[in-house]
Structure 1
Amino acid sequence: MERLAGGVMLLSGWRRALMAFSAGLIGVVALPPFGFFAALFLSFTILVWLVDGATGEAGSGWVRRLLPAFWIGWFFGFGYFLGGLWWLGNALLVEAEDYAWALPLAVLGLPAFLALYYGLATAAARLLWSDGAGRLAALAVAFAAAEWLRGTLFTGFPWNAVGYGLMPVPLMMQSVKLAGMDAMNLMAVFVFASPALLGTRRGARRGLALAGVALVAHLGYGVYELRFSPDPAATGTGVRIVQPVIDQAMKLDDTVRAEIFERHLALTAAPPGNGGRKPEIVIWPETSIPFILTDNPDALVRIAEVLDDDQTLIAGAVRMEAAGAGKPPRYYNSIYAIDGKGQIIGAADKVHLVPFGEYMPFGPLLESWGINAVAAMPGGFSAAREHPLLRTAGGRSFYPLICYEAIFPQEITADAAQSDALLNLTNDAWFGNTPGPYQHFRQAQVRAVQTGVPLVRAANSGISAFVDSKGRVVLGLSYNIGGYIDSTLSGSSVSYQDIAKQNLRFYILLAMALLTALVSRFGFIRAKN
Structure 2
Amino acid sequence: MNLIWTLPAARVISLPSRMTVACAAGGLAVLTLPPFSILLLVPVAYATLLVLLRHLSVAKAALVGWAFGLGQFGFGLSWIAESFYVDAERFAALAIPAVAVLSAGLAIFPAIAAALFAGVAQRRAIGGVLACLLFATCWTTAEWLRGHLLTGFPWNLAGYALVEYAALRQPAAWVGSYGLSFLVVLAGTLPAAAFLARGRHRWDIPLLGVGIVVVAWNAGTARLQLETPGPSGVDLRIVQGNVPQQEKWAPENREATLTRYLELSTRPGPVDILLWPETAFPGFLDEDVEARSRIAAAIPAGALLLTGVPDRVSMDGGTSYFNSVQAYDQSGEFLTGYAKHHLVPFGEYMPFRGWLPIDRLTQGLGDFTPGPGPRTLALPGVPLVAVAICYEIIFPGHVVDDLFRPDWIFNATNDAWFGTSIGPEQHLASARMRAVEEGLPIVRAANTGISAVIDANGDLAARLGTGETGVIGAALPFAHPPTLYARFGDWTLLALIFATWAVGLAAGLVGTHRGNKKTRTETKSCW
Per-residue CA shift, 1:427-466, capped at 9, x if unaligned? 1010010010000001101100110011101111111111
Alignment partner for residue 254 of structure 1, among 239, 251, 254? 251
Aligned length: 507
Match of 1:380 in 2: 367
Per-residue CA shift, 1:466-500, capped at 9, x if unaligned? 11101111111111121001111111014444435
1:73–1:122 CA contact under 8 A, matched in 2: yes
Per-residue CA shift, 1:359-397, capped at 9, x if unaligned? 11112333xx3x121125333100011222233332332
Residue 421, structure 1, aligned to residue 408, structure 2: yes
Question: In the aligned structure 2, how far is the partner of 1:411 from the partner of 1:107?
Answer: 26
Match of 1:291 in 2: 283
Residue type matched to 1:86 in 2?
S
Alignment partner for residue 271 of structure 2, among 261, 265, 279? 279
Residue 355, structure 1, aligned to residue 345, structure 2: yes
Shift of 1:106: 2.4
Match of 2:214 in 1: 216
2:26–2:71 CA contact under 8 A, matched in 1: yes
Shift of 1:311: 1.3
- Residue range with higher mean Cα deviation, 116-125 or 245-254: 245-254
Match of 1:135 in 2: 131
Residue type matched to 2:187 in 1?
V
Match of 2:54 in 1: 52
Question: In the aligned structure 2, how far is the partner of 1:222 from the partner of 1:517?
Answer: 23
Alignment partner for residue 166 of structure 2, among 166, 170, 191? 170
Match of 1:197 in 2: 193
1:337–1:390 CA contact under 8 A, matched in 2: no
Question: In the aligned structure 2, how far is the partner of 1:519 from the partner of 1:229?
Answer: 34
Q: CA, structure 1 residues 46+52, in 2 after alignment: closer, same or farther (shift >3 Å)?
A: same
Question: In the aligned structure 2, how far is the partner of 1:392 from the partner of 1:377?
Answer: 30
Question: In the aligned structure 2, how far is the partner of 1:126 from the partner of 1:377?
Answer: 47
Q: CA, structure 1 residues 232+364, in 2 after alignment: closer, same or farther (shift >3 Å)?
A: farther
Match of 2:519 in 1: none
Per-residue CA shift, 1:318-353, capped at 9, x if unaligned? 0111112xx331110000111000001110010100
Match of 1:275 in 2: none
Residue type matched to 1:468 in 2?
D
Per-residue CA shift, 1:165-218, capped at 9, x if unaligned? 133332221010011122111111101111112211255355433322211111
1:133–1:204 CA contact under 8 A, matched in 2: no
Residue 467, structure 1, aligned to residue 454, structure 2: yes
Question: In the aligned structure 2, how far is the partner of 1:20 from the partner of 1:212?
Answer: 25
Query: SS of the residue aligned with 1:155?
Result: coil
Query: SS of the residue aligned with 2:26?
Result: helix
Match of 2:336 in 1: 346
Per-residue CA shift, 1:284-328, capped at 9, x if unaligned? 00000111112211111001111233111110000111112xx33
Shift of 1:77: 0.8
Query: SS of the residue aligned with 2:315?
Result: coil
Match of 1:78 in 2: 70
Question: In the aligned structure 1, how far is the partner of 2:507 from the partner of 2:141?
Answer: 19
Residue type matched to 1:134 in 2?
L
Question: In the aligned structure 1, how far is the partner of 2:507 from the partner of 2:97?
Answer: 41
Residue 31, structure 1, aligned to residue 30, structure 2: no
Per-residue CA shift, 1:253-287, capped at 9, x if unaligned? 12101110111111001112xxxxx2111100000
2:278–2:412 CA contact under 8 A, matched in 1: yes
Q: CA, structure 1 residues 426+205, in 2 after alignment: closer, same or farther (shift >3 Å)?
A: same
Residue 154, structure 1, aligned to residue 154, structure 2: no
1:133–1:206 CA contact under 8 A, matched in 2: no
Q: CA, structure 1 residues 13+522, in 2 after alignment: closer, same or farther (shift >3 Å)?
A: farther
Match of 2:267 in 1: 270
Q: CA, structure 1 residues 502+216, in 2 after alignment: closer, same or farther (shift >3 Å)?
A: farther
Alignment partner for residue 330 of structure 1, among 320, 335, 339? 320
1:138–1:513 CA contact under 8 A, matched in 2: no
Question: In the aligned structure 1, how far is the partner of 2:458 from the partner of 2:334?
Answer: 32
TM-score normalized by structure 1? 0.90
Residue type matched to 1:224 in 2?
A
Residue type matched to 1:499 in 2?
A
Match of 2:495 in 1: 508
Q: Unpaired runs of 5+ in structure 2?
A: 516-521, 523-527
2:310–2:324 CA contact under 8 A, matched in 1: yes
Query: SS of the residue aligned with 1:487?
Result: strand
Question: In the aligned structure 2, how far is the partner of 1:355 from the partner of 1:125?
Answer: 31
Residue type matched to 1:473 in 2?
L
Residue type matched to 1:82 in 2?
G
Shift of 1:248: 0.7
- Residue range with higher mean Cα deviation, 284-293 or 197-206: 197-206
Query: SS of the residue aligned with 1:128?
Result: helix
Match of 1:110 in 2: 102
Q: CA, structure 1 residues 329+455, in 2 after alignment: closer, same or farther (shift >3 Å)?
A: same
Residue type matched to 2:96 in 1?
P
Residue 318, structure 1, aligned to residue 310, structure 2: yes
Residue type matched to 2:148 in 1?
T
Q: CA, structure 1 residues 4+236, in 2 after alignment: closer, same or farther (shift >3 Å)?
A: farther
Q: CA, structure 1 residues 9+358, in 2 after alignment: closer, same or farther (shift >3 Å)?
A: farther
Q: CA, structure 1 residues 321+305, in 2 after alignment: closer, same or farther (shift >3 Å)?
A: same
2:283–2:309 CA contact under 8 A, matched in 1: yes
2:340–2:371 CA contact under 8 A, matched in 1: yes
Q: CA, structure 1 residues 397+381, in 2 after alignment: closer, same or farther (shift >3 Å)?
A: same
Q: CA, structure 1 residues 523+10, in 2 after alignment: closer, same or farther (shift >3 Å)?
A: farther
Alignment partner for residue 307 of structure 1, among 299, 312, 316? 299
Alignment partner for residue 145 of structure 1, among 123, 128, 141? 141
Question: In the aligned structure 2, how far is the partner of 1:15 from the partner of 1:307?
Answer: 62
2:386–2:400 CA contact under 8 A, matched in 1: no
Question: In the aligned structure 2, how far is the partner of 1:88 from the partner of 1:512?
Answer: 39
1:311–1:339 CA contact under 8 A, matched in 2: yes
Residue 492, structure 1, aligned to residue 479, structure 2: yes
Q: Unpaired runs of 5+ in structure 1?
A: 55-64, 273-277
What is the root-mean-square deviation of aligned Cα atoms in Å? 2.4
Query: SS of the residue aligned with 1:411?
Result: coil
1:416–1:422 CA contact under 8 A, matched in 2: no
